[in-house]
Structure 1
């Protein structure tokens, strides 16, 4: 049996007395898409930040390609070069062009020659439909375009794993579709992804597995049709009932 690309075991994270993640276990097979669902404050974003080593975990282990990346001796920058993360806020550098935003890490961190980095970046911008915006500044783009640039920037390091943290939450409703279409393409291309989202219909469509989090725990995990259509836990049923009543599923 092939080992998962990502394995999270017994992950705990708290701030003072407030426990945000409470013994989380989660695996992700290579080329799979796992959607993280749950109410705000359930721990989805913190889980992604711990996987990307943006937060120091209190206990537990995160393994990527069989390597314990939570070992304090690990080079966090090297690990992050294998993980792409995209946030709900686009986090683009406003003073840099789109092309320079995408090439910054390959050039500065990975020391790739400018012409090589720019060649690859233009191919990525082609992929996200924004090659013609290579010379633009972020404030000249729509929110959906900025988020697609942020995805291109995350892909520029050729990551093994992509993390998406509520990437449509800051977008106007009419711009959500163009970003989700790009994520759908990545899923079809076999990119391994963890996707924290409030877009339940999208999670049901693209995910191989759905993990429902509540109070920092993974309460239920399984195929989308099972989690959404036949949830086993009362906490999952309560959450989905609220979602359905709000017209979001």
Structure 2
């Protein structure tokens, strides 16, 4: 059996006395989608930020392709080029065109020449269906289009791993489907992904692995069929029961 692309062992992160991640373990196989579910405050977003090195971990090891990326000697920008992340807030620069938003990091952070960066950005905008919007400003786009630009920006470095943090939470309901469809297409193309979401129907459809986080740990993990259909832990059953009562399962 091949080693996982991503391996997390004993991950701990605290803010003062508040422990958000507590001895968390996680493995993600290459070309698979892992979905993180759990209540607000369970540690999903903090975990994703640690995986992208936006947070400094207090303890534990994160390995990507067998390399310890929590080693303080690693070059952070090189790791972030390999681990793309998209948030629920689009975080686009309003004064820049769509094309410039996507090309900015390759040029400024990774030293890619302007023409190459713009060519790569145009290709990625075409991939997400927004080639015609290259010259537009973010405020001229719908929320769904802005989120697809944010995804293009994360994909332009051709990362080994993509992280999605509640990327539909800020969208109007009618715009959710276009973003989820794009994520589904990336999964079908073999992109390795970790997705935190409250969209349980989407999670059941897309995930090879579902991880239920509670108290900063992966309390239960398994296939979508197992976790949603026959959860082992009582806490998982309680969580999914409330989701089902709300009509979201």
TM-score between both structures, scaled by the size of structure 2: 0.99
CA distance in 2, matches of 1:123, 1:78: 22
CA distance in 1, matches of 2:186, 2:171: 20
Q: Secondary structure at the match of 2:63?
A: strand
The answer for the alignment partner of 2:102 in structure 1 is: 102
The answer for the alignment partner of 1:58 in structure 2 is: 58
1:62 Cα deviation from its structure 2 partner: 0.3
1:200 aligns with 2:200: yes
The answer for the alignment partner of 1:40 in structure 2 is: 40
Equivalent residues in 2 for 1:89-238 (5 A)?
89-238=89-238
The answer for the alignment partner of 1:81 in structure 2 is: 81
1:37 Cα deviation from its structure 2 partner: 0.2
Q: Secondary structure at the match of 2:39?
A: coil
1:115 Cα deviation from its structure 2 partner: 1.7
Consecutive unaligned residues of structure 1, counting only runs of 5 or more, are none
Q: Secondary structure at the match of 2:78?
A: helix
User: Per-residue CA shift, 1:84-129, capped at 9, x if unaligned?
Assistant: 0000000001110000001111111222222222122111111111
CA distance in 1, matches of 2:22, 2:54: 18
Consecutive unaligned residues of structure 2, counting only runs of 5 or more, are none
CA distance in 1, matches of 2:215, 2:244: 21
The list of structure 1 runs, each at least 4 consecutive aligned residues, that deviate by more than 4 angstroms after superposition, is none
Give the CA RMSD over aligned residues: 0.7
TM-score between both structures, scaled by the size of structure 1: 0.99
1:150 Cα deviation from its structure 2 partner: 0.1
